[in-house]
Amino acid sequence: MKRYLRPTILIGAGLVGLWVLVALFAPWLAPFDPLKSLSPLALPGTPAPGGGVFWLGADLLGRDILSRMIYGARPVVALSTLATLTAYAVGVTAGLLAGYFSGWIDTALSFLANVILSFPVLVLYIVVIVALGPSPINVVIAVTFASAPAVFRIVRTIAADLKQRDFIAAAVTQGESTWRILFIEILPNATGPLTVDFCLRLGYTTIIIGALGFLGLGLPPPAPDWGGMVNEGRALAFAFPHLVIFPCLAISSLVLGLSLLADGLNEARDGQGRGS
Amino acid sequence: MSAPILEVSGLTIALPPGADRPNAITDINLALGPAEILCIVGESGSGKSVLSSALMGALPRGLTIASGGIALNGTDLTRQTERAWRDIRGRRIAMIPQEPMAALNPSTRVGRQIEEVFEIHGRLTPQERRAEALRLIEEMHLPDPARIAAAYPHQLSGGQCQRICIAMALSLNPDLLIADEPTTALDVTSQAQVLKLICELRDLHGQGVLFITHDLGVVADIADRIAVMEKGRLVEIGAARQILQAPAHPYTQKLIAAVPSFATKSRPRPAVEAGACLQVQGLAKTYGRTQALKPCDLVVERGTTLAVVGESGSGKSTLARLLIRLVEPTSGAAMINGQDLAKLSGAPLRKARRTIQMIFQDPFGSLNPRRSVGDVIARAAALAGADRASARQIAKDLLERVGLSAAAYARRPSAFSGGQRQRVGIARALAMRPDILIADESVSALDVSVQAQVLDLLRELQLELGVTIIFITHDLRVAAGISDQVAVMKRGEIVELCDTATLVNAPAHPYTQALIAAAPGRGVI
C-alpha cells in the first residue's frame, strides 16, 4: 500500500478527484445559471447585476464562465469515463479471444484493428460523428471505435503470452470453460498494465471530447461544454483572453491529473518487482 | 599439493538489509591447486553461485564483500578496478556457463565467436585467430571443425554449444576455470561426454577447475576434492572419496542419502481391483513432416506406476500431452477406463477430463500468480462435483495431506518455494479425484532432498488412493526408484518397455544400455 503514496499519484488523484467532485455537485457549486445571459464580455472580478461576482468573467452572450466551466465538467467526466469503459469492454473481449485462440480469429481481428489504427484518430472521429450526427451517445460510439483497437493490441499480446503457461494448461485439463479461462485465469494477470493504460486513455478521451466540442461536433449548443467554450471565444481571444484561458486550463488540469496518475501507478508497479 | 592457484580466505559477502539472512556466504576458506577439480556442492540458496560471481568480480548489485580475501596466484582479486577485471576475465579466469544456448550470440557463427575472444584481448592476426578457433573446435572432439565453425548456435545441439563455450573459455589458456552447473541443461549422454572432456582438458592444460553443481552423481564422476555448502557456510571440505564414502557432517549425509540410485524398491501395491486403467493403441502425432510420436502401444494396470524415460526431443512430453488431450492425436486411441477422450468434445469432454490429471514441470508457471493456492485447489474440487463448503474443506485437508498447513490456504503462489508449489500442484491434481496422475518432469526443477520428499509423497498417495501414475522423466535413476514398469523413448519411439527390475539389471536395447552407462555417479554412490 505504501508504494502507492507517491507524489505523482497523490497530485494526480487530487486533480482528478477535484473535477469528479465538481461534476457531481455542480448545481450547488455554480454561482449562476450557466445558460442565463447577464452581462456580455464582463471581465474577471466584475460585480454581476443583481448581486454576486463574475470571478472568471462572462462570455460573449453574458453567461458566467465559472458556472459554465463547473457544469461543463459533467459531460466531460461522464462521457470520457463511459466511452473509455465501452472501448475497454470491446477491446478486452476481442483481445482475449484473439490472443487465446490465435488462428483465423486472431488474423481477422488483428487485421481489422490495424486498418482502424492506420487512420489519423481525429479524422476517424469526425467521420463517425458526421455520419451519425453529434450527440452524447455518438461521441461514445466514436471513441469506442477509435480506442478499442489499441486496447485490443495490449490484451492480445498478454493473452498470447499467458496461454503458454502451465496454469492455463492445468485449467484446460480440469475441464474449465473457455469463458472462465479467459476472464478468471487470464484477465486478472493483465490488470497491472491495463490500469495504467486506462488512466492514460481517459486523458486522451478527455482531449478528444474537448477537440470535438471545439470543432462543433460535441454537445449541441447552448449546453456548457469546455471545447465548445474555447471555440466560441476563439475570435475574441486576443481582446478577451479570459474567454479561452479558463476552459483550456480546465481541460489541461484534468488531463494532467490523469497522466500523473498513470505515471505514478506505472512506477509503483515497477517498484513492486516483476516476480510477484 | 603444489602452490595453490586460488586461495579464498575468510570470505564473507553481506546481503542487503532485510534479506532472510545477514550474509550470502559466511567465512569461506578454500584453496585450489593446479590441475585439480574442486566441486562445490549445495542446494538452491546455499550461496554457491554468489561465490562463483565473487570470483569473477561480478557480484550482483547490492552484495558487497564484507571481509576476507580472494587470491589468484598471489593477486588480490578483491581490490581490482573494473578495467583490471576486464583483463583478468577470459585471460586468467574463464567461465563455462549454465545455459550454453543462452550464452552464445544467436546471430553470429560460433567460429567467429571464438575468434572474438582473441580480438577482445588483442591477440593474434585475423588468420591466426581463424586457425586457432578451428584447432580449439577440434580439441573439443567436435566432428568436421570447418562445418561447425560456420554454424549458428541454433544449428548445433546443446552439448555441441557447451563444447563451443568450453573452447571459448580455454582459448586464452586461463589459470582457473569456473564451471557453474555446466551440464544441468544437457541430456545424460551429452552430459557424460562433456564431463569426460572437462577431465581430459584439465589433464592436458593443467587448469584448476572450480565445478559448481547440485548433482552429487556428477560430483562422484569428476571431483578430486569436494566442498559442501549449506546456507552460505562451508560445512565440509575434503578428498572426494572420503566425503562420498564417509561423510562427516549430517547435511552431507542427508544429501548423499537423497541421491537417486538404480536400486529398485519392492513396495506394497495399493488394494484396487485388477485390470488395465490405461490402454494406448497406435497413438501417434505428426507436426507437418516431423513425426513427434510414432505409433505406440501401452497398457498400464490400475494402481501401478509407468515411468517414461527419454532425453529432450524423444517425444515423452508429446505422449503426456496426447494422453491428457492437450493436443489432438494424428491417429490411434488412448482409452482411460475404456473411454477415449479424443472422441469427446464440449461439455462431456470437460466432464471426462477429471479422470486424468497432470502435475506440471515448472512449479513457477503452473500456478496462477493472481489466485490464492486454496482457491485453486477448492476450484478443482468444485469441478469434481463438491459443493462450495465441502470444496473448501477438501482443499484444506489436501493442503495438510501434501505437507503444507491449512493456514497456507489464503496465500498466493509467490509466498511458496519451488518444492512447496509442486506440492500445491499435486494437491490441485488430487482434488479432481483422478484415476490417472501424469507427473511430467515434476521433480526435475527441485533440489535433491526436496525431490526425494516429493517422490515419497507420490508413493504414499498412490498406496492410499490407488491412483495410477505415469511418471515422465529424463533421469533413469529417478524412474527406477518409483516405477513398476519403464518405457524408454528415443526419437518419438518407445524402444524398450518392460518391468523396472529387468530394465535396470538386464537392459536389452543398446540405447537403454547407453543411458544406464551415462548416468552420473554410477557405482560410486
pLDDT in tens, A197-229: 998 899 888 888 888 888 888 777 777 888 888
Whether A188 contacts chain B with CB within 8 A: yes
CB B209 within 8 A of CB B202: yes
Q: Across-strand partners of B334? A: B280
Give the best residue of A164, A166, A191 to mutate against chain B (max B CB count within 10 A).
A166
Whether residue B64 contacts residue B54, with contact meaning beta carbons closer than 8 Å, is answered with no
**Could you read off the pLDDT of A73-120 as tens digits, one per residue?**
888 888 889 999 999 999 999 999 999 998 999 999 999 999 999 988
Give the DSSP H/E element, type plus range, for residue B278.
strand B276-287
- Taking CB atoms and an 8 Å limit, are B371 and A188 in contact across chains? yes
pLDDT, tens digit (0-9, with 9 covering 90-100), for B188-247: 888 888 888 889 888 888 889 999 988 888 888 889 999 999 888 999 999 988 988 889
What is the torsional sign of CA B462, B465, B468, B472? negative
Contacts of A96 (CB under 8 A, 6+ apart): A155, A156, A159, A182, A183, A186, A187
Q: How far is residue B360's CA from residue B444's CA, in Å, rounded to a whole number?
A: 10
| Pairing outcome for strands B37-41 and B23-32 | unpaired
Residue of chain A whose Cα is closest to the Cα of B373: A167
Closest to A198 (Cα-Cα) out of A252, A244, A155? A155
Give mean pLDDT, residues B252-258: 86
Could you give phi then psi for residue B129, rounded to 5 degrees? -60, -45
Percent of chain B with pLDDT over 90: 26
Q: Does A169 touch chain B (CB under 8 A)?
A: yes
Q: Is A165 on the interface with B (CB under 8 A)?
A: yes
The alpha-helical segments, DSSP class H, found in B150-239 are 158-170, 188-205, 216-222
Q: 10 Å Cβ neighbour count for B10?
A: 12
Highest mean pLDDT of the ranges B44-53, B342-351, B508-517: B508-517
Q: Is the pLDDT of residue B455 over 80?
A: yes
Chain A environment of B361 (Cβ under 8 Å): 166
Task: Quote the radius of gyration of chain B (alpha carbons, Å).
Answer: 25
Cell of A119: 487512420
**Residues A174, B324: C-beta atoms closer than 8 Å:** no
Q: Which chain A residues are within 8 Å of B414, Cβ to Cβ? A: 275-276
Mean pLDDT for B397-402 is 88
Which neighbouring-strand residues pair with B23? B14
pLDDT value at position B209? Answer: 92
All residues at 6 or more sequence positions from B167 whose CB lies less than 8 Å from its CB, including other chains? B114, B133, B136, B137, B139, B140
Q: A37-52, pLDDT tens digit by residue? A: 777 777 777 777 777 7
Nearest CA in chain A to B324: A173
Return the axis-axis angle of helices B188-205 and B510-518, rounded to nearest 10°: 50
* B136-145 pLDDT, tens digit each: 998 888 888 8
Residue of B371, B383, B414 with shortest CB distance to A174: B383
Evaluate if residue B490 carries a pLDDT over 80.
yes
Q: Among residues B226, B220, B224, B183, which one has the least CA distance to residue B207?
A: B224
Write down the ipTM of this complex: 0.76
d(CA A172, CA B380): 11
C-beta of residue A37 within 8 angstroms of C-beta of residue A61: yes
Residue A167 has its nearest CB partner, among B354, B366, B414, at B366
Q: Is A189 on the interface with B (CB under 8 A)?
A: yes
Q: Number of A:B CB contacts under 8 A? A: 60
Q: What does the pLDDT read at residue B524?
A: 59
Residues 6 or more apart whose CB falls under 8 angstroms from that of A150 comprise A91, A117, A197, A201
pLDDT, tens digit, 9 for 90 and up, residues B69-110 = 899 888 888 888 888 888 888 889 999 988 888 889 999 999
- Residue B297, CA distances (Å) to A32, B293, B294 in order: 86, 11, 10
The verdict on a CB contact (< 8 Å) between A189 and B368 is yes
**Which grid coordinates are listed for B486?**
519403464
- What is the pTM for the complete model shown? 0.79
Q: At what angle do helices B418-431 and B448-465 cross, to 10 degrees?
A: 10
Cell of A133: 450526427
Tens digit of each residue's pLDDT (9 = 90 or more) over A259-268: 998 888 888 8
Mean pLDDT (whole number) for A157-171: 92
- When computed from its CA atoms, the radius of gyration of chain A, rounded to whole angstroms, is 22
A182 DSSP assignment:
I
**Whole-number pLDDT of residue A275:** 35
